[in-house]
């Protein structure tokens, strides 16, 4: 991670932070779409979409148009899952990052900087889940494509873990979509383990088989 340092967020990072987060989430649309295409009930849906116009009209051309439209709708639904989440975050905690993360006890936001440019972001908040009173939640992590595979994401994770440990927390938790496979591999290498999985809380999630994975890292106790 030569040339990269991690520091607290400041106001001048606002624009690049929001853009980096949005890009880091929406870039997974195609991977989620490919997963959707492998689901049996989606195959049935596409088959019926192709077959119905052919039976009614007897036109392969119309059937081809119908299945093309169905594929487009499936892609847009996957895109919707990510963009809706991004818009919620941009209007919630990322609307006033300094106020939300740096002026509240137990909250924090860091950026990874390389030669004056922000190349990574991560945040920490107390977990508000039932039974998670002594847990810290890792959120909003994203790394610029130019700096992936260079240890930046791992360093950002360790920053949150160290922050949680210093505050006496017992674990760090996080959520990620099943489409974010690179992130999953990183978390598991660090020591996070999947505790549960569930459909994203959005109407198309079950139809698209869009799952959220809940990870937990137990902080070693001092001996």
pLDDT at 1: 66
If asked whether residues 80 and 131 sit together in one domain, one would say no
> pLDDT tens-digit profile of 88-131?
999 999 999 999 999 999 999 999 999 999 999 999 999 988 87
Token pair 């989606």 in the structure block, residue: 42
The CATH number of the domain holding residue 188 is 3.40.630.30
Answer yes or no: is pLDDT of 201 > 90: yes
If asked whether residues 204 and 152 sit together in one domain, one would say yes
Q: Please tell me the total count of domains within the chain.
A: 2
pLDDT at 112: 98
pLDDT at 151: 96
In a domain, 105, yes or no: yes
pLDDT at 131: 75
If asked whether residues 61 and 114 sit together in one domain, one would say no
DSSP code, position 8 = E
Collapsing DSSP to helix, strand or coil, 209 comes out as coil
In a domain, 18, yes or no: no
Answer yes or no: is pLDDT of 2 > 80: no
What ranges make up the beta strands (E) of the chain?
4-8, 108-114, 117-126, 135-143, 171-177, 193-199, 211-218
Residue 93 CA: distances (Å) to CA of 75, 83, 174, 175, 204: 28, 16, 16, 16, 24
If asked whether residues 59 and 150 sit together in one domain, one would say no
Task: Out of 89, 111, 141, pick the residue that ends a domain.
Answer: 89
Task: Give residue 40's domain range.
Answer: 29-89
Task: Out of 70, 89, 108, pick the residue that ends a domain.
Answer: 89
pLDDT at 79: 99
pLDDT at 91: 98
> pLDDT tens-digit profile of 173-200?
999 999 999 999 999 999 999 999 999 9
If asked whether residues 77 and 115 sit together in one domain, one would say no
């Amino acid at each position: 991670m030569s040339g990269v340092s991690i520091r607290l967020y400041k106001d001048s990072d606002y624009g690049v932070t929001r853009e980096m987060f949005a890009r880091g989430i929406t870039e997974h649309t195609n991977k989620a779409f490919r997963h959707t295409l492998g689901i049996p009930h989606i195959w049935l849906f596409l088959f019926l979409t192709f077959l119905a116009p052919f039976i009614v009209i007897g036109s392969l051309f119309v059937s081809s148009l119908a299945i093309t439209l169905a594929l487009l709708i499936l892609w847009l639904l996957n895109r919707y899952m990510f963009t809706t989440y991004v818009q919620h975050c941009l209007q919630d905690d990322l609307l006033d990052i300094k106020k939300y993360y740096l002026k509240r006890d137990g909250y924090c936001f860091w950026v990874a900087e390389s030669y004056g440019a922000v190349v990574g972001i991560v945040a920490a908040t107390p977990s508000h889940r039932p039974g998670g009173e002594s847990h810290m939640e890792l959120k909003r992590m994203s790394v610029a494509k130019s700096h992936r595979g260079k240890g930046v994401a791992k360093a950002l994770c360790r920053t949150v873990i160290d922050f949680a440990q210093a505050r006496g927390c017992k674990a760090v938790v996080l959520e990620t979509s099943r489409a974010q496979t690179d992130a999953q591999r990183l978390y598991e290498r660090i020591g996070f383990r999947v505790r549960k999985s569930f459909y994203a809380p959005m109407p198309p999630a079950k139809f698209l088989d869009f799952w959220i994975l809940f990870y937990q890292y137990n902080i070693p106790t001092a001996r």
